[in-house]
Amino acid sequence: MLIPVILCGGSGTRLWPLSRQLYPKQFLQLNGAGSLLQQTLERLRTVPDHGPCIVVCNEAHRFLVAEQLQACGEEEALILLEEQGRNTAPAVALAALLIREQYGDETGMLVLPSDHLFRRPQAFAESVAQAYAAVQDQLLTFGVPPTRPETGYGYIRAEAAAGAQGPRPVLEFAEKPDLERAERFLAAGDYYWNSGMFLFRAGVYRAELHHHAPAIAEACEAAYTGMVHDGRFRRPGAEAFARCPADSIDYAVMEKTDRAVMLPLDAGWSDIGCWRALHEALPRDGQGNVLQGDVLSEDTRNCYIRSEHRLVVSLGLDDHVIVETADAVLVAHRDRVQDIRGVVDGLRKKGREEPLVHRQVHRPWGGYETLVSSQRFQVKRLTVAPGASLSLQMHHHRAEHWTVVRGTARVWRGEEEFLLSEDQSVYIPIGALHRLENPGRIPLELVEVQTGAYLGEDDIVRFEDSYGRIPLPAGAPAAGAASGAVS
C-alpha cells in the first residue's frame, strides 16, 4: 500500500497579498479549479493502490484543512498538527511513525507538497506508479526536466539514463543558482529541477533519518510517544517536538544518504512559488496576459492582473503583476516578484496585520469580515454556518451590538436565552457571558458593532468551545446545555 503524505505547512509569502499567514496559498483557488490542496487530493484519485491520506499542517490551519478534506470526500484522512513548524524532515518523520503503527514499516510513503500545479495530471499518476513499482530500499525523489534557466528552484544532478527510463542514482543536489549557473545546468542536460516530492518506504526513511540526523529522529519519536488523539486530529507531544531541530528532508537526509535516486517527472509541473510562476502556469490571451476578475486592459502585454473586489484598469503596461484585494494592492514588475518576501517582512516589523490575515477571516463556525475599523469602534459582518456556534465567551474591554440581516440567531446572554430574526438586534455589555448559534438551515448573517477601549481579537475569554481551541476551565458554566446548544 502507498500512503500519500501531504505537507500543508507553508505560508506562501511570495504570493502576497492574496496569500496570508492564516490563509496561505495552498487553500486558495488560483486557477478556478478548487484550491491547490484540493487539486492535490483530486490528482491522487488516479494513483493506484493508495490508502487514506495523512496531511501535516500547522495547528492554526487545522479547520481549513478539515473543511477542504471534507469537501473532497476524504473522510478517512488523518491530520497531523504541528504547534510550531520544524520544516519537512520532522514532519515526514512523524508521518512515518504513524504509518509504521497503522500499516507497518514496509508501507510506501508518497510525500507531496500541497501547493503545486500539474498541467498533465495523468502523467503525474503514471510516474508515481512507476516509482512505486521500482523503489525498494532507496529514497526516491522526482526531478522535473528544466525548460528554462530558472533561478528560483534547486537542482538535482543524476546519472545519465542507460536503457530504460527508470530511477537513476543522484550525484548532486545544487542550491538555487544565479542565472549563469542555471544556464550551465540547462545546457548540461543532466540537471533537473528539485520538485520537493518523494517516494520511499516508511522504515527506510526512519532508518536513514536515525543514521544522518539522529537528533531529529529521537525528538520525533519522543513527540510521537506523547501523541494526543482528537477525532481525526493527531497532536504530537508539544514539549518534545519543540526540542526537535528544524531541517528539510534535503539537508537532513537526501544530501547525505547513499540511497538517493531520482525519477524524471515530465507532467507540466510548477510549484507556484511566485506570481511570475503562476503567470507562466496559466493559459494566457493573445497578448500574453492572464486576467482574472473585473479587469480591463488596454495596450497591455505579458502581465498577470487579478481583481478580487473592484474594477482594475491597466493601460500601456508590459511585464507587470497587479493583484488587488480588499485591503492591499500589489503592483510590481515581473522581474521583481521574488522580492515580495522582503516587503512582507518589513510589514511584519511595523506590526501591520496585512501579512497575517485578510479582511475576510475564516473560523471553524463560519467567518467574519471587517467593514470599518477605528480607534474605539469596529464594524464586522459575521456569517455563521447552519448548526454552528461561537464559543461561550466574554470580553474585558469591549461591548457588542448584533443585528441579524439574514437567518435566525439563538443568543445566550448571561442567564437569558432567546431567538433573533431578521432586523432584530441585541446588546452584549462588557463582561457579559454570551454565545451565538445558528439553529437554522441557511447561513446566519449579522452585523456586529464593537465599542470599547481595546478591540483586539485576543480580548476573548472562552469558557466552552466546540472546536477544541481551549481547555474548559474548572467550574465554568455550561450555558445552553439544556436546550441543545452546541458547546
What CATH number corresponds to the domain at position 409? 2.60.120.10
Residues 114 and 251 in one domain: yes
Range of the domain at 404: 360-483
Whether 125 is in a domain gets the answer yes
* Mean of pLDDT values over 321-334: 96
The string of pLDDT tens digits covering residues 248-287 is 999 999 999 999 999 999 999 999 989 999 999 999 999 9
Q: pLDDT band at 480, cuts 50/70/90?
A: very low
User: DSSP state, 401?
Assistant: E
User: DSSP state, 72?
Assistant: T
Residues 72 and 202 in one domain: yes
The gap from C-alpha 286 to its chain's centroid, in whole angstroms, comes to 33
Residues 311 and 417 in one domain: no
- The pLDDT, as a whole number, for residue 31 is 87
Residues 220 and 364 in one domain: no
Residue 153 phi/psi, 5-degree rounding, is: -115, 150
Residues 226 and 187 in one domain: yes
Residues 149 and 237 in one domain: yes
The string of pLDDT tens digits covering residues 76-100 is 999 999 988 899 999 999 999 999 9
* Mean of pLDDT values over 200-229: 97
Q: pLDDT band at 369, cuts 50/70/90?
A: very high
Residues 311 and 200 in one domain: no
Longest CA–CA separation in the chain, Å: 78
- CB-neighbour burial class of residue 381 (10 A; exposed 0-12, middle 13-18, buried 19+): middle
pTM of the full structure:
0.85
Q: pLDDT band at 156, cuts 50/70/90?
A: very high
| Stretch (H or E) spanning 279 | helix 275-281
Residues 318 and 237 in one domain: no
What CATH number corresponds to the domain at position 199? 3.90.550.10
Whether 348 is in a domain gets the answer no
Rg (CA), the chain: 25
Residues 202 and 311 in one domain: no
All three cell numbers of 31, joined, read: 486557477
Whether 350 is in a domain gets the answer no
Q: pLDDT band at 478, cuts 50/70/90?
A: very low
Q: Of 270, 304, 328, at which residue does a domain stop?
A: 270
- The pLDDT, as a whole number, for residue 482 is 28
Residues 166 and 81 in one domain: yes
Residues 288 and 266 in one domain: no
Whether 400 is in a domain gets the answer yes
Instruction: Give the 3-state secondary structure of residue 195.
Output: strand
Distance CA 186, CA 150 (A): 9
The string of pLDDT tens digits covering residues 345-356 is 999 999 998 999
In order of 50, 52, 106, 172, 447, the CA distances from 103 in angstroms are 12, 11, 8, 33, 50
In the chain, the number of structural domains is 3
The string of pLDDT tens digits covering residues 413-447 is 999 999 999 999 999 999 999 999 999 999 999 99
DSSP 206-233: HHHHHHH-HHHHHHHHHHHHT-EEETTE
Residues 222 and 74 in one domain: yes
* Mean of pLDDT values over 471-483: 37
- The pLDDT, as a whole number, for residue 476 is 38
**pLDDT over 70 (residue 106):** yes
Omega before residue 17 within 30° of 0, cis: yes
Cβ partners under 8 Å of residue 355, min gap 6 = 13, 16, 20, 21, 344, 347, 348
CB neighbours of residue 116 within 10 Å: 22
Q: Of 248, 270, 292, at which residue does a domain stop?
A: 270
